[in-house]
Structures are given as C-alpha cells and as structure tokens.
Structure 1
Amino acid sequence: MIRWVAAIFIGLFVFYPLLPFLEKLGVGRMPGDIRFRLRAMIFCLPFGSTVLWSALAFLVARFLK
C-alpha cells in the first residue's frame, strides 16, 4: 500500500511542473477532468485524461508486443 502512495506522490511531483506543456496535448481539458482554484493556485485533477492516456499506452504496448 505504501508503495502505491509513494508512486502517486512521485508521479505528481514529476508531472505537475509539466502541466502547462501537457495542456497543449489536451491533458486537463477533457470531460471528467476537475480544475479548481484555491487562493492563488490552480489545481488540476485529470481523471478523464488519465483514463484516455492509460488506454492509449495499453493499446500501443499491446500492438508492439
């Protein structure tokens, strides 16, 4: 369980600075993605984008195998 928490924390730590670049690819602007502002910061929870990118990675991996 602690490994999953650590993996999620590291993933957020790595990909959160890349969010402006990833928005150009559609991450954070799909149905199912949640954006909210808390004081001066904007938080994005890309649930819909995560499902789409995971499915795309699965199909690519399956095609290459």
Structure 2
Amino acid sequence: MIRLYLVVFFVLILLSWAAPWLRRFGLGRLPGDLHFRLFGRQWDVPVTSTLLVGVVAGLVAKFV
C-alpha cells in the first residue's frame, strides 16, 4: 500500500514540474483539474490529468 502512495506522490511531483510543458498538449486543463488562488499564490491540482497519466502508464505496463 505504501508503494502506491509513493508512486502517486512522485507522479504528482513530476506533473507539477512538467506542467508548463504539458499544458501545450492539454494536460492540466482538463475538466477535473482544479485551479485556485490561496494565500496569494496560484495552486494547481491536476486530478484528472493524474488519472489519465495513470491509466496510460498502466496500459503501457500491461503490454510491455
């Protein structure tokens, strides 16, 4: 179970790091992605993008 949490944590870190590059392809702007301003800072929570990347990664892992 801890392995799943670590994988999700690292995927979220990678998505937040690569967010400007991925926005050109539409990730980070999907209907389930949250964007809000709190404490004077812009926060992005890519829920739908994370699920989409997880499904694609799962399909790749299944066929490789």
**TM-score (norm: length of structure 1):** 0.67
Structure 2: any 5+ residue segments left out of the alignment? none
**TM-score (norm: length of structure 2):** 0.67
Q: Distance in 2 between matches of 1:61 and 1:50?
A: 16
User: What is the CA RMSD across the aligned residues, in angstroms?
Assistant: 2.3
Q: 3-state DSSP class of the match of 1:16?
A: helix
Instruction: Report the counterpart of residue 50 of structure 1 in structure 2.
Output: 50
Q: Relative contact order: is structure 1 or structure 2 higher (C-alpha 8 Å, sep ≥ 6)?
A: 2
User: Percent of aligned pairs with the same residue?
Assistant: 40
Q: How does 1:21-36 map to 2 (within 5 A)?
A: 21-36=21-36
- Relative to structure 1, the CA distance from residue 60 to residue 20 in structure 2 (aligned partners, 3 Å threshold; closer, same or farther) is same
Instruction: Report the counterpart of residue 18 of structure 1 in structure 2.
Output: 18
